[in-house]
Structure 1
């Protein structure tokens, strides 16, 4: 029985590794070639896998792209997780979430560009991408509103508008970080200073 479980676990690990390899190959292809020019053949070539293997894990190119988009959503959700930090320490919360969300934007900038482009033509991708963006802004706005009600901050604008501002700063600073115009620590500091001013701190 023990041997049987060990063999099953080895298979599970191998399956998980192949799944990750296919996702990584698909992501690199989408980022380099764009959605339209990426083919299943190109993904399997990069992954060193057969077409049949691809179909064990994904039904189509559309599905693997949707999985990658969902990974972006999950990364943004984790970036705004306040576990281990005092949620009422506004300065610490903003400094941490500014840094983590900017890191996610930098890490996924190329894929997000493909998502933006594909969302124009694909209603399902558009709905998912709108959801990803709306969730991140809404979580920020909810936090600002809660802290405003508690009297810890005095927003100069509607919380939802400030959430949009934060997302916009991420989008503008990320390319500057990628091309070396500014270090990420300096970008975080500038964004934090702007946020503090906008929250009357």
Structure 2
């Protein structure tokens, strides 16, 4: 009889490294995190790290990108298209803010650390914004909303909405508050921008 033992797959190691990067950011912050910290927390080797990521920065970019994708999926899932449009806006905003608070250290990191990455950081910000723009346009491009006078948000309006909300979150979090502290202001502003 042959007994199978579980061996970690490449995907498992990659996820362990991303989880370790998250833990390192929680513990010591991105700037002070080293590859050695990530490897230690992942309980793996430097060789394994470099099989998956070219650098600390590329690991961080992958982490932030995947966290952004999860956030977008959660926001999209939180919106019930059968609800009145103002309720849909509230659902989206509340989920975004809840996600930001749930990943507090990562939220702090994107405020402080992504701009310090230079060209890489700017490209990451643009990529993240494009995905959020697509989400907003998708959420506002529904027949049920068109019947209420709400139309698909154009790109510039989506940038205005998302940039404003992102800066409001950053300002509040940098001042020691939680993202959810701005819920009512964020909902009111979003309804005003998106309304008929």
**TM-score after normalising by structure 2:** 0.70
1:63 is matched with which residue? 58
CA 1:126–1:194 in 2, change beyond 3 Å: closer, same or farther? Answer: closer
Q: Map of 1:30-179 to 2, 5 A cutoff?
A: 32-35=28-31, 38-82=33-77, 85-86=80-81, 89-106=84-101, 107=103, 108-113=106-111, 114-118=113-117, 120-122=118-120, 125-144=121-140, 146=142, 150-153=146-149, 159-167=154-162, 168-176=164-172
- Give yes or no for contact 1:142–1:159 (8 Å, CA) kept in 2: no
SS state at 1:11 partner = coil
SS state at 2:148 partner = coil
Deviations for 1:57-85, whole angstroms, at most 9, x for unmatched residues?
Answer: 43433432232132133123213324772
- Give yes or no for contact 1:76–1:136 (8 Å, CA) kept in 2: no
Deviations for 1:157-181, whole angstroms, at most 9, x for unmatched residues?
Answer: x743442343222431355257554
Shift of 1:38: 3.9
Measure the CA separation in 1 of the matches of 2:10 and 2:146.
51
Structure 1 segments unaligned to the other structure (5+ residues):
none
Shift of 1:130: 0.6
1:190 is matched with which residue? 185
Structure 2 segments unaligned to the other structure (5+ residues):
none
Number of residues of Structure 1 aligned to a counterpart in Structure 2? 189
**TM-score after normalising by structure 1:** 0.69
